[in-house]
Amino acid sequence: MNNQELKHKAREIREEVIKMVTAAKSGHPGGPLGLADIYSALYFKILKHDPKNPNWEERDRLILSNGHVCAVRYASMALSGYFPVAELSTFRNIKSRLQGHPSITYMDGLETSSGSLGQGLSIATGIALGLRHQKKTNRIYACISDGECGEGMTWEAAQSAVHYKLDNLIAFMDRNFIQIDGNTEDVMRLEPLPEKFRSFGWNVMEADGHNMEEILSSFEKAQTHKGSPTLIVFRTILGKGVSFMENKPEWHGTPPNAEQAKQALEELAKA
């Protein structure tokens, strides 16, 4: 896909996210809207994967640490052919495969179940090390949030990944400065966050998470880096594309009502 087609897919992902959380009357719209451009790039350009064969041995692994943003992953999976788009309407239903936090018990195409924040980078580090021992060339991508960098496990994983020189590990951060209790720098100051990872020995890049050219370039550079793991710090806007949601902490985990959803979809259609 070319960049314009990827941008169109990102809009479709955002539209499906709004529909999903509105139908469920629960869920997290803000983060998924902010990650849509990145996930469009991943599922339709970057990842080596096969929707018709989700457990393909040669696939890249995508670890979702911040599992509450799973609507963006489900929408991306459906639009790329893992399951029918119509199934997205079952999001968060008790008997649905599309649980509010992803579970490998119910669905192929996921690498881990996720719930508590902060575990993803550790899991990704373990998988990256295991695949390297098996002399596999698969890449491991780990989606992490900025808020979870206030947890110790993240930094233990960051240290281990460098120690083992895991250049098959590419982590990317949703740096929107917002978590459920407000601005990250008010809740638990994280800055200078890129420098902290650099001091551990990571190859760190910073990019605009809504600029498709920068997103693709960052991932492509990360794929060729050798000798250490890579972190891409994507600057994103929570609620991107919906005017009344953008940069508003209250939309971290609040679904829109029917009228708000109508407005959101109208705005996205014009984007």
Q: In this predicted model, what pLDDT tens digit does every residue of 153-204 receive, in sequence order?
A: 999 999 999 999 999 999 999 999 988 888 888 888 999 999 999 999 999 9
DSSP string for residues in 4-22: HHHHHHHHHHHHHHHHHHH
What pLDDT, on a 0 to 100 scale, did the predictor assign at position 24? 95
Asked, as a colleague might, if the bond just before 102 is cis with ω within 30 of 0, I would say no
Which residue from 179, 206, 212, 171 is spatially nearest to 11, judged by alpha carbons? 212
> What is the token pair recorded at 15?
């539209």
What pLDDT, on a 0 to 100 scale, did the predictor assign at position 118? 81
What pLDDT, on a 0 to 100 scale, did the predictor assign at position 186? 87
What pLDDT, on a 0 to 100 scale, did the predictor assign at position 38? 98
Q: Could you give the CA distance from residue 144 to residue 234 in angstroms, rounded to a whole number?
A: 10
Burial category of 113 from C-beta neighbours within 10 Å (exposed 0-12, middle 13-18, buried 19 and up)? middle
Which residue from 190, 129, 204, 205 is spatially nearest to 154, judged by alpha carbons? 190
Relative orientation angle of helices 3-24 and 30-41, to the nearest 10 degrees: 150
What pLDDT, on a 0 to 100 scale, did the predictor assign at position 181? 82
Relative orientation angle of helices 3-24 and 70-80, to the nearest 10 degrees: 120
Which residue from 81, 84, 8, 16 is spatially nearest to 40, judged by alpha carbons? 8
Question: Where do the domains of the chain lie, and which CATH numbers do they carry?
Answer: 3-270 (3.40.50.970)
In the beta sheet, which residues pair with residue 204?
A: 231
Which residue from 224, 207, 227, 268 is spatially nearest to 46, judged by alpha carbons? 224
Residues 6+ positions from 75 with CB-CB distance below 8 Å? 12, 13, 16, 17, 20, 32, 36, 39, 88
- Regions of the chain short of the pLDDT cut 50: none
